[in-house]
Amino acid sequence: MPMTIRRVRTGLLAAASAGSILLPGAAMSNSEYGKFLAGQHAEALQDTENAATFLLHVLEENPDDQKLLRRTFVLALTSGQMETALSLAQRIDETGGRMSTADLLLGVEQIRLGKFEAARDRFDAMPRNGLATYAAPLALAWSQVGLTAIDKALEALAPLDQESGFGAMRDLHTALINEVAGRAEAAEKAYRGIADPLDAAPIRVVRGVAAMFERNGRTDEARTIYEGYLRRDPQSLVIRAELVRLNSGGPATPLVGNPADGVAESLFNIASALPRDRAGNIAVVYARLALYLRPDFELARLLIGELMDEEKQPKSANAIYASIDPSSPYSWSARLRIANNLADMDAFDQAVSILEKMSEERVERTDALIRLGGILRVKERYSEAVAAYDRAAARFTEADSGDWFFYYNRGIALERSDLWSRAEPDFLKALELEPEQPYVMNYLGYSWAEKGMNIDRASKLIEKAVDLRRNDGFIVDSLGWVLFRLGDYEEAVKQLERAIRLRPSDPVINDHLGDAYWRVGRKLEARFQWQRALDLDPEESEIKKIKNKLTHGLEAKKAGSSGG
């Protein structure tokens, strides 16, 4: 590659991350340099499809640049350009480069074509580093299944021991391999190694073992497993659909029916297990490979959409969600996410329309209405949010610990709608369901302090919240504000100064610190904080109050009173 391009890489990426690159049209379309910059910019913005397209053009002019080849391969694979990725993987292989992800794709292609011996040799020779330490044994095992070498397949799973953290995955694939081989007893034993009773297992295990029982004439046991799982998770559309199918006499589909399904399941399992905040791109790669092997793998499709959401790519995520088969039980979850993304993209009316329609489709469910309430609340349409939450509450049967979030969010909408007589019971209900929830403690305690109610109880609640979230500037601010209300101005200043260090650009915290400074006689600093609060775009209702304080300061305290 020309030295000019090599020199700009590091500085360009930093600039691209800041979104500061504006390229002339001619440079974008005609020059190698411009295409490289455009590819860098697209990659920095997580637009992997365009990044791959631009870098492919650069690669045509620099075919011997191995780093560029590998980078373009990963971008093509991440964006789902499978034919391009496969061609690049073959080039990596032909030039003697060893790259586990390229090896994995080439082996996956052999599995897809039914060439199990070639796949076995490819997976056996793969470098065992990074995630390939776990992906290679799983893929090797399923290639051995394709060769009907079942015992060798089970032996290949040995590296996935308990110490690796992949013991449950090994047990799952031991069960699936035995099931495909017709060894139902051994399969059941492996399933029970994951969880016993079986209805307490993860959902993929429940689906797998119950379907196996059905196909082996153990229908009542399968029904018991489905029903037991639904007692734990009544909202599971996937398991409910399986139970409805069983009760109507429909056939049970195995979780894995052949080696290609097995490799796809392996790759999906690994992608699902990765931490979203640290492994987004590689998780997308593994999910893409799973979907390539099994195009009807709707759960993998849903995972790709979720990972795109994590990368702040709502438009791309929605395109994936929309491709999920409407008859799939995963379509419901996809539509909820589509609505959420549309609201974030300012297609608010469209989002509301989707959620209203969903709420009418399934009148027994609450999630569409709760999601509707959430997006209305975020848009500060609080009274409409309350109405949506109330409609959801009318469908509740019995609240459990997981419902604390509903009461907390409805409480916020009610409080912001000046309906404190209804908001307070919701916050108390949320605390009853989740007693150690610091955000509920904070909101309730702060609200009490603002209203001059239950100040001592508010102080205790917020002190406990601070103990649980010491580095949350909003919660530390609440403690400072309660101390201010109690008249302990010196301590209030200490806490509010700490809150400012944690959240320097919040207008409310700056305003509170200004009040505290005024009360301890630091009037110049108080006016500085009030001015800063005004510059930080406070709520409309606070602007007049802050301007009045800038002009006149705080009113003198009345004898025997506390606070501002």
Longest distance between any two alpha carbons in the chain, whole Å: 90
Q: What is the 3 state secondary structure string of 353-387?
A: HHHHHHHHHCCCCCHHHHHHHHHHHHCCCHHHHHH
What is the pLDDT at residue 44? Answer: 66
Q: What is the pLDDT of residues 518-537, one digit of tens each?
A: 999 999 999 999 999 999 99
Pairwise CA distance, residues 352 & 343, whole Å: 8
Q: Which residue has the tokens 């399992």?
A: 269
User: What pLDDT is recorded for position 470?
Assistant: 93
Tokens linked to 219:
């229908």
Judge whether 408 lies within some domain.
yes
CA distance 423 to 126: 59
pLDDT at residue 31, as a whole number: 65
Note the pLDDT tens digit of each residue in 90-147.
Answer: 999 998 878 999 999 999 999 999 999 999 999 999 988 888 999 999 999 999 999 9
In a domain, 352, yes or no: yes
Q: How far apart are CA 314 and CA 322, in angstroms?
A: 12
Q: What pLDDT sits at residue 30? A: 54
Q: How far apart are CA 285 and CA 545, in angstroms?
A: 53
Query: How many structural domains comprise the chain?
Result: 1
Distance of CA 159 to the CA centre of its chain: 29
Within a domain: residue 155? no
Q: Burial of 537 by CB count in 10 Å (0-12 exposed, 13-18 middle, 19+ buried)?
A: exposed
Contacts of 379 (CB under 8 A, 6+ apart): 343, 348
User: Is the CB of residue 529 less than 8 Å from the CB of residue 507?
Assistant: no
C-alpha 496/C-alpha 464 separation (Å) is 17
Question: Around Cβ 561, how many Cβ atoms within 10 Å?
Answer: 10
Contact predicate 202/195, CB 8 Å: yes
DSSP labels for 171-221?
A: HHHHHHHHHHTT-HHHHHHHHHHH-SSGGGS-HHHHHHHHHHHHHTT-HHH
- Residue 441 in any domain: the answer is no
What tokens were used for 510?
Answer: 């700056």
Residue 392: CB atoms within 10 A of its CB come to: 21
Q: Which tokens in the block code for residue 322?
A: 């929309």
Residue 79 has a CB neighbour count (10 Å cut-off) of 20
What pLDDT does 35 receive? 66
Tell me the pTM.
0.84
CA 563 to chain centroid, in Å, comes to: 42
Predicted pLDDT at 496 = 97
Q: Is residue 355 part of a domain?
A: yes
Residue 345, classed as helix, strand or coil, is coil
Q: For residue 421, what is the domain's CATH number?
A: 1.25.40.10
Residue by residue, pLDDT tens for the chain (564 residues) are 333 333 233 332 333 333 333 333 434 445 665 666 766 766 666 777 777 777 777 777 788 888 889 899 988 999 999 999 999 999 999 988 789 999 999 999 999 999 999 999 999 999 888 889 999 999 999 999 999 999 999 999 998 986 677 889 999 999 999 999 999 999 999 999 999 999 999 999 999 999 999 999 999 999 999 999 999 999 999 999 999 999 999 999 999 999 999 999 999 999 999 887 766 689 999 999 999 999 999 999 999 999 999 988 999 999 999 999 999 999 999 999 999 999 999 999 999 999 999 999 999 999 999 999 999 999 999 999 999 999 999 998 888 888 999 999 999 999 999 999 999 999 999 999 999 999 999 999 999 988 989 999 999 999 999 999 999 999 999 999 999 999 999 999 999 999 999 999 999 999 999 999 999 999 999 999 999 999 999 999 999 999 999 999 998 876 445 555
Position 156: which residue type? A
Q: Could you give the CA distance from residue 395 to residue 373 in angstroms, rounded to a whole number?
A: 14
Residue 362 lies in a domain: yes
Residue 488 one-letter amino acid: D
- Asked if residue 411 is part of any domain, the answer here is yes
The residues near 457 (Cβ < 8 Å, ≥ 6 apart) are 445, 448
Report the alpha-carbon distance of residue 78 to residue 45 in Å, rounded.
14
Q: What is the pLDDT of residue 181?
A: 97
Enter the tokens of residue 365: 């469910």
Q: Is residue 297 part of a domain?
A: no
* SS3 call for 543: helix
Domain residues for the domain of 363 are 346-432
CA distance 525 to 351: 46
Q: Cβ of 92: how many Cβ atoms within 10 Å? A: 20
- For residue 130, the 8-state DSSP code is T
Asked if 237 contacts 245 with a C-beta cutoff of 8 angstroms, the reply is no
